[in-house]
Amino acid sequence: MAADDGTKVNADDAQNYWMSEGYAPGGVIRDVDYARSSQGLHPSLQGIKIVDCDTHFTEPPDMFTSRAPEKFKGRLPYCRNVDGADRWFVGDRNFGTMGGNVIGADSNKLLGRLAFPTLDQGHAGSYQIKPRLKAMDEMGIYAQICFQNSGVTQAGSLMALGDDEVAVMILKIYNDAAAERQQESGDRLFTLGHLPIWNKAAMEAEARRCIDMKIKGFVLPDKPERLGLPSFTNEYFAPLFEMCEATGTPVNYHLNAAINPSGMTWEELGFEQRLAVASMMYSLGNAATLGNFMVSGLLDTYPNLKIGMIESGMGWVPFAVEMMEHQFDEMMPNVARRLQKRPWEYFRQNFWVTFWYESIGPKQLLETLGVDKVLFETDYPHPTSLYPGVQEHLVDTLGGYDYEVRKQVLERNAVKLYNLPF
């Protein structure tokens, strides 16, 4: 939800990661019949360990202060309330809100806003393990792949601190907490790692450390050039990609943060209208990441690199890949001759995509994309989350397929992509 122009590194990336208007008074509370929607796994899905491949675990307020080595005391992120909203700070630098959480403490849902202003107004499962596992059981979800929620891991703001030792330590503590959460949850909550990509040696060392800690994947930016770094085609990133390919560790692109969808909306539109359009365009923006990989030659160099396209949906993918098939011939005939595969071949070899609210995609496009390439997600507890009604939606969208296909999409594909231990 970045508010800058999306073209260069910005010291305020963390502060603007979630638009401040999203925490202002207003919105509409949707009353949720929680008893009806919290009955666990549907009978037709029994025996399937549903993996929710895009959720967000809010960084707990003491995550950094409780783990700070002595020399870093007072130098790491801490929380304080400003103008009624909980925010992260590093020293006197505002690192933004706690992230998106529209599931209330009473299990009702806030519409038209990004989150409740304070952490305690939201559901405890947004940042505590036991309440999260209870909520998962009630939704019929066995495991979750978790992504960051606040802007505290944003590379632009970390680089702007001017203290690389602190910036790297923030991400190391974030990854330590992820590994601890995975173990404490009994291998049900798998938070993906973040890397200090601006520091090549630290990036490679932290990637190896995360893999050794059994972190199940990494979140990368869509466009490292925005941070003043080389492109992914540069040798700078070669050791990271080699490590990921050799260990089967996936790289993940969560939406497309390199674009600025807010700049595509009409200026006279109100916040809720702009938010609806911007949210759509963030998802569709991942088509650029898909295309960049396909034309770059990287997938010939790293043919077994696994790439997750997360919180982007699946309905746009056939159009995007079909367009790339056409553009390979029309726009890049010389380059295409040097590539070893065609776009559909690259997609089926290297990419996985997710669906959540969609009906047309899972009902009509599953075979087109491949039943082994589609994952399920809820985006819990974000504003677009599939909540409530998870089981009803799965029965509606996948009920027309046989049991083996349902198990493939809801469990086995995630197990393969993320090397899950079940």
Instruction: Specify if 261 maps to a domain.
Output: yes
Cβ within 8 Å of residue 369, ≥6 positions away: 314, 317, 318, 347, 353
32, pLDDT greater than 90? yes
User: Sorting pLDDT into bands at 50, 70 and 90, what band is 259?
Assistant: confident
Q: What is the per-residue pLDDT for 9?
A: 63
In terms of DSSP bridges, do strands 85-90 and 93-97 run parallel, antiparallel, or are they unpaired?
A: antiparallel
pLDDT at 8 (0 to 100): 63
Q: Is residue 341 one of the residues assigned to a domain?
A: yes
Query: Under a CB-based contact definition with an 8 Å cutoff, are residues 366 and 401 in contact?
Result: yes
Q: Contact, 189 vs 157, CB < 8 A?
A: no
With respect to residue 19, please indicate whether it lies within any of the assigned structural domains: no
Average pLDDT over residues 57-83: 96
At 2, is the pLDDT very low, low, confident or very high (cuts 50, 70, 90)? very low
| Residue 280 within a domain | yes
Whether residue 127 has pLDDT greater than 60: yes
133-179: pLDDT as tens digits: 999 999 999 999 999 999 999 999 999 999 999 999 999 999 999 99
Distance from C-alpha of 1 to C-alpha of 257, rounded to nearest angstrom: 8
Express the helix, strand and coil content of the chain in percent, nearest 5 each: 45, 15, 40
Residue 78 lies in a domain: no
Asked, for residue 203, whether it belongs to a domain, the answer is yes
**Structural domain includes residue 94:** no
Q: Are 306 and 250 in contact (CB under 8 A)?
A: yes
Q: Is residue 316 part of a domain?
A: yes
Q: How confident is the model at residue 357 (pLDDT cuts 50, 70, 90)?
A: very high
Cα–Cα dist 33/188, whole Å:
26
Q: What is the mean pLDDT of residues 342-364?
A: 98
The answer, yes or no, to whether residue 6 has pLDDT greater than 70, is: no
CA 260, CA 9: separation in Å to the nearest integer? Answer: 13
pLDDT tens digits, residue range 175-221? 999 999 999 999 999 999 999 999 999 999 999 999 999 999 999 99
Contact in structure between 209 and 180 (CB atoms under 8 Å): no
382's CB contacts (< 8 A; 6+ apart) are 56, 100, 101, 102
- For residue 2, what are the contacts with CB-CB under 8 A and spacing of at least 6? 10, 13, 16, 17, 257, 260
Q: What is the number of structural domains in the chain?
A: 1
Q: Any idea what the CATH number is for the domain that residue 323 is in?
A: 3.20.20.140
Query: How high is the pLDDT of residue 16?
Result: 84
Q: For residue 95, which of 162, 153, 173, 29 has the smallest C-alpha distance?
A: 153
Rounded mean pLDDT, 113-118: 96
Identify the band that residue 389 occupies on the pLDDT scale cut at 50, 70 and 90. Answer: very high
Q: Token pair 């103008």 is at which residue? A: 83
Q: What is the pLDDT of residue 313?
A: 97
pLDDT of 19 = 86
pLDDT at 358 over 60: yes
Which tens digits make up the pLDDT trace of 91-102? 999 999 999 999
Question: Would you give the DSSP letter of residue 399?
Answer: T
Global pTM value: 0.96
Q: Do the bridges between strand 143-147 and strand 51-56 make them parallel or antiparallel, or are there none, so unpaired?
A: parallel
Residue 61's pLDDT band (boundaries 50, 70, 90)? Answer: very high
* The amino acid at 42: H
Pairing of the two strands 78-82 and 189-191: unpaired
Kindly state the tokens that stand for 65. 């202060």
What's the whole-number mean pLDDT along residues 224-229? 94
Render pLDDT for 314-323 as a digit per residue (tens, 0 to 9).
999 999 999 9
Asked whether residue 87 carries a pLDDT value surpassing 90, the answer given is yes
Residue % of the chain over a pLDDT of 70:
98
Domain that holds residue 314: 38-57+130-148+162-418
* β-bridge pairing 307-310 and 51-56: unpaired
The residues, ordered by sequence, that sit 6+ positions from 308 with a Cβ below 8 Å of its Cβ are 53, 217, 250, 251, 252, 253, 351, 352, 354, 375, 417
Q: Among the residues of 248-355, which ranges form H helices? A: 271-284, 286-296, 298-301, 317-330, 333-338, 343-350
Decide if pLDDT at 243 tops 60.
yes
**How far apart are the C-alpha atoms of 178 and 69, rounded to whole Å?**
17
In the structure encoding, which two tokens stand for residue 7, read together? 């073209």
Give dist(CA 32, CA 54) in Å, integer. 22
Residue 257 has pLDDT above 80, yes or no: no
Task: Give pLDDT, residue 82.
Answer: 94
Span 279-306, pLDDT tens digits: 999 999 999 999 999 999 999 999 999 9
pLDDT band of residue 3 (cuts 50, 70, 90) is: very low
Query: If you average pLDDT over residues 326-343, what whole number do you get?
Result: 97
Mean pLDDT score, 379-406 = 97
Mean pLDDT, the chain, whole residue set: 95
